[in-house]
């Protein structure tokens, strides 16, 4: 059917009664729809395109001249008593259908246990189609109650869709890492300080769930109350050396190296400087943390850094007391009865 016939569709909207109109089950008016209205259109191929169907709730009229003209093109002579009203088949959404579509979205996301309550949804007539919901359509901050707006769509004929919004109360069961006691800021978590527990919460992207083995040995960035969920951002790697730790210091010069024992006066992560005390003399010196309870003083490297600093006996970034004198303390500790390595 050419464009002229489609243009022949009268676009006048009217408030016709539903019983007076031909119901169209898609976005196109076809010959089979008019045949159902008692015309002789059944002689025309049933899928012949007549025009586009109106929006839901709007009636359109096909004029007598248009209908007779279409019939004449197929060699059919008819006398139509009057224009034919056409409207898009539509109905109000059912709560059960909306819930079923939402449950499908939860199943695809891997949630098998949840609490879903449908609070409000559209009550006006919509065309027939397929409802779709996804977790990406959840809007707003749900808070503890899980109440939020869930945005979906109704896929209708003609590769079109109608937006659908519903208000829901939704909580899903997830496994989260929880504290078994109050953890203070800076504390190192032990295996018994955390455990996996099931809880209901609002779904969302959030942060990934940690496992107990991941959290054990980590340091709390802040105080965490007992029974609270533990997220990755709450924890940090602990320092390799903490204040008061016994530290084995390797003192190297050229091809020789010696090991001495010392006590940490500050904390340090790997690669950072740490202040240590030589227990034999009680004097402090600086070294570089290399691992858990391990540090190193490279006399040859420090000597080069001193030269680069202008020969003032200051290592790069250090001071005289913790630099030149400190190197003597570290090296001299061996002669003072420290352990050889």
Could you read off the pLDDT of 99-123 as tens digits, one per residue?
999 999 999 988 889 999 999 999 8
| Domains of the chain from N-terminus onward | 3-88 (no CATH), 92-173 (no CATH), 176-236 (3.90.1210.10), 246-332 (2.30.30.760)
Both tokens of 83, joined, read 């224009």
Between β-strands 194-201 and 246-253, what pairing exists: parallel, antiparallel or unpaired? Answer: unpaired
What is the radius of gyration, based on Cα positions, of the chain? 40
| Residue 48 CA to its chain's centroid (Å) | 48
pLDDT at 71 over 70: yes
Which one, of 143, 94, 148, lies nearest residue 116 by Cα?
Answer: 148
pLDDT at 320 over 70: no
Give tens-digit pLDDT for 211-240.
999 999 899 999 999 999 898 889 998 888
Averaged pLDDT for residues 28-32: 83
Both tokens of 170, joined, read 């939704």
pLDDT at 196 over 90: yes
Q: What's the mean pLDDT when you consider all of the chain?
A: 78
Averaged pLDDT for residues 250-258: 79
* Ranges of H-type helices in the chain: 3-7, 31-35, 64-73, 95-108, 212-215, 299-308, 324-332
More reliable by pLDDT, 4 or 229: 229
């Amino acid at each position: 059917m050419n464009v002229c016939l489609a243009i022949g569709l009268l676009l006048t909207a009217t408030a016709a009664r539903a019983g007076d109109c031909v119901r169209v089950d898609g976005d196109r008016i076809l010959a089979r729809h008019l045949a159902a209205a008692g015309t002789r259109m059944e002689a025309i191929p049933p899928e012949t395109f007549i025009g586009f169907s109106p929006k839901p709730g709007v009636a359109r009229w096909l004029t007598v001249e248009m209908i007779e003209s279409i019939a004449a093109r197929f060699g059919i002579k008819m006398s139509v008593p009057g224009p034919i009203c056409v409207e898009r088949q539509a109905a109000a959404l059912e709560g059960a259908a909306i819930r079923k579509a939402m449950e499908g979205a939860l199943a695809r996301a891997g949630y098998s246990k949840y609490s879903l309550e449908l609070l409000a949804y559209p009550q006006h007539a919509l065309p027939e189609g397929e409802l779709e919901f996804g977790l990406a359509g959840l809007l707003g901050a749900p808070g503890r109650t899980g109440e939020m707006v869930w945005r979906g769509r109704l896929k209708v004929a003609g590769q079109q869709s109608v937006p659908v919004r519903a208000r829901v109360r939704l909580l899903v069961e997830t496994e989260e890492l929880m504290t078994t006691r109050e953890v203070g800021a800076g504390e190192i978590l032990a295996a018994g300080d955390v455990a996996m527990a099931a809880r209901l919460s609002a779904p969302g992207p959030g942060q990934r769930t940690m496992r107990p083995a991941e959290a054990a040995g980590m340091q709390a960035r802040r105080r965490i109350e007992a029974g609270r969920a533990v997220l990755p951002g709450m924890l940090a790697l602990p320092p390799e050396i903490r204040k008061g730790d016994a530290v084995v210091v390797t003192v190297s010069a050229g091809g020789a190296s010696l090991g001495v024992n010392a006590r940490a006066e500050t904390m340090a992560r790997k690669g950072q400087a740490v202040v240590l005390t030589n227990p034999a003399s009680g004097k402090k010196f600086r070294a570089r943390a290399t691992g858990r309870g391990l540090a190193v003083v490279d006399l040859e490297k420090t000597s080069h850094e001193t030269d680069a600093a202008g020969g003032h006996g200051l290592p790069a970034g250090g001071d005289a007391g913790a630099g030149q004198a400190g190197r003597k303390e570290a090296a001299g500790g061996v002669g003072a009865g420290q352990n050889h390595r």
